[in-house]
A = this chain, B = another copy of it.
């Protein structure tokens, strides 16, 4: 499948590499390719510049948001939450319409340090903002509750653990679940919470996740929902 991954950060890189490994035809979308490829310094998290990773993935395409969205039959939003709406506008509504948009972004505001605040919560979510802005796009929220390495390789966390799906379009959620299966997620560990409004729940969970990250000093963890004992 032709897939556009919007965002050049660690989430975008990790997802794109996994998709390439699964023989998808992948393009990474960014605001400005020349800018991205000219960066020589590590990013804010100390990771090597994008171009080093890009050099190691010679088959990977890179383009502006609009080129990427036009190429992709399936779109993944792995941009920084604070810039997601703008990135998607640059990608272009006509390039996105009627396509599935897997939204991995979170509405995190790190401007006051750690822990981050959510810039939208309670009565709205970033996923809903995106769905309202692009009513003809099939927005499905998923994977935003775990770190990038767990997203594409759930077995690095021990035992059974869960990932969540939120969205209005049943067939789009079905396709996203198939993609999650291909990443290694068992169907019984994919919890469909309901329509796109339920993304408020997983986005607010991310605040809790960030504090647990502080407690554990690692992002390699996830949760398993345990239910009523059948006794």
What residues make up the interface of A, taking CB atoms closer than 8 Å to B? 112, 115, 117-118, 121-123, 155-161, 191-194, 198, 200-202, 204-205, 207-208, 210-212, 214-216, 218, 220-230
- Judging by beta carbons under 8 Å apart, are A117 and B123 in contact? yes
Contact A194 B214 (CB under 8 A): yes
Q: How many copies does the complex hold?
A: 2
Contacts of A222 in B (CB 8 A): 225-226
Q: Given A157-B226, A225-B221: A201 and B207 within 8 A (CB)?
A: yes
B201 touches A211 (CB 8 A): yes
Name which residue of chain B comes closest to A203, CB basis. B208
Kindly state the separation between the CA atoms of A200 and B220 in the bound complex, as whole angstroms.
21
A121 to B208, CA, bound (A): 11
Besides A112-B123, A158-B227, 7 other A-B contacts (C-beta < 8 A): A160-B226, A191-B215, A194-B211, A198-B215, A200-B207, A218-B227, A221-B228
Known: A121-B122, A122-B117, A226-B222. A193 touches B211 (CB 8 A): yes
Interface of A is mostly: mixed
Contact B221 A224 (CB under 8 A): no
Choose one: B193, B210, B215, B226; the contact of A194 (CB below 8 Å).
B215
A16 to B229, CA, bound (A): 24
- A160 to B227 Cα, complex, angstroms: 10
> Is the beta-carbon distance between B228 and A214 smaller than 8 angstroms?
no
